[in-house]
Structure 1
Amino acid sequence: MTRKITVVPPQKSWAKQYEQEKIRLKEIFTRQIIDIHHIGSTAIKNCQSKPVIDILLVVKEIQSVDMHNQEMQKNGYECLGENGISGRRFFSKGGDNRSHHLHVFQEGNPEIHRHLLFRNFMNSHLEEAIAYSQLKVELANKFAYDAESYSVGKDEFIKNIDQKAQKWYDKIR
């Protein structure tokens, strides 16, 4: 059976879940970690989301991450390699009841800046967070069992926010 896409109201527990997982990840990737961040919709105030904690891990060398695949599996993660984004290592925890996604990038990868800028912009622009929430609810209702269509439906909105976020960043910098 295909996993159902469910979008829920913001949960106070999301920040705590991130902090707990951050501790585990620091124990696994001790020497490689440069930084670790809570990203994605669960890191955006007032944003409805799928109840999956997205974590961004910044490392010194992306190839070193592969040495920890077995330990990640022992901690409930599925190791999915680049999973469609060159230079990334992606891990999913929880199987059909996903709880966490880990996105690992080497220091200097432009995806790091993009993810953090998206989160920061959305946290500073409530109206955009609300619009994003509404879009995700509509898409989840329309494509409850079609993850690809759900993602494609968000794509234009996300690209638009990425552009707005970069302009915003350039102004405040």
Structure 2
Amino acid sequence: MSEVEYVTEEPAHNAPVVLEEYNAAWPAWFAVEEAKIRGALGERVVLVEHCGSTSVPGLAAKPLIDVLLVVPDSRDEDAYVPALVEMGYYLRLREPGWYEHRLVKGTTPNVNMHVFSPGCVEVERMLAFRDRLRAHDEDRAEYERVKRELAVRTWERVQDYADAKTQVVERIIARALG
């Protein structure tokens, strides 16, 4: 596992994960965030996409909008973080050993913005996973079943819940890229 530097600490979760039935408003929530991001960063946006479970119609999810943001260089935080902070986001963590990933958070609505640089293989994987779930009912059902089974457990950190889904996520990505 790569080194993680938490820029902003958050309290332990120590609870189950609450999943909601698909909400048709989630794409509109993303559209608002996308407009904020594009307005703040302008030409520094290489790509911005709605990803994660709220981007898949019919899939139960945490009411959390996952945003995939590609900027020219995710390591160059001065080129994008201050503008995002002005829009109400904050830098949550850095993962220099995992594609120079940065996680930027928003609170209203709850947003996880995953920031990468162009050419990062994880961008392709995230979009392939999303697109596979959108197009294949059996994969979406398998993923939702695992999510529901895991969600009822008590998790110290929500990331632990996400990590517990790795096996099913990797199976679906393998089918998507196969």
Q: How many pairs does the alignment contain?
A: 165
Q: Which whole-Å deviations, capped at 9, do the CAs of 1:70-124 have from their partners, x for residues lacking one?
A: 3322323220342473322210112xx8611111111111111001100111111
Q: 2:101 matched to which residue of 1?
A: 88
Say yes or no: does 1:116 pair with 2:136. Answer: no
Q: CA deviation at 1:44?
A: 1.1
Percentage of identical aligned residues = 24
Name the TM-score, length of structure 2 as normaliser.
Answer: 0.83
Say yes or no: does 1:13 pair with 2:38. Answer: no
Question: Counterpart amino acid of 1:33?
Answer: V
Q: Secondary structure of the equivalent of 1:108? A: coil
Deviating more after overlay: 68-77 vs 119-128: 68-77
Q: What is the distance in 1 between the residues matched to 2:109 and 2:160?
A: 19
Name the TM-score, length of structure 1 as normaliser.
Answer: 0.85
Q: 1:170 matched to which residue of 2?
A: none
Q: 1:140 matched to which residue of 2?
A: 151
Q: Secondary structure of the equivalent of 1:137? A: helix
Structure 2 unmatched runs, 5+: 1-10
* CA root-mean-square deviation: 2.0
* Counterpart pick for 1:152 among 163, 166, 175: 163
Q: Secondary structure of the equivalent of 2:165? A: helix
Cα gap change, 1:64 to 1:29, in 2 (>3 Å): farther
Q: CA deviation at 1:149?
A: 3.5
Question: Counterpart amino acid of 1:70?
Answer: P
Cα gap change, 1:69 to 1:59, in 2 (>3 Å): closer
Cα gap change, 1:66 to 1:6, in 2 (>3 Å): farther
Larger relative helix fraction: 1
Deviating more after overlay: 10-19 vs 125-134: 125-134
Q: CA deviation at 1:145?
A: 4.8
Q: CA deviation at 1:37?
A: 0.7
Q: Point out which structure has higher relative CO (alpha carbons under 8 A, 6+ apart).
A: 2
Q: 2:34 matched to which residue of 1?
A: 22
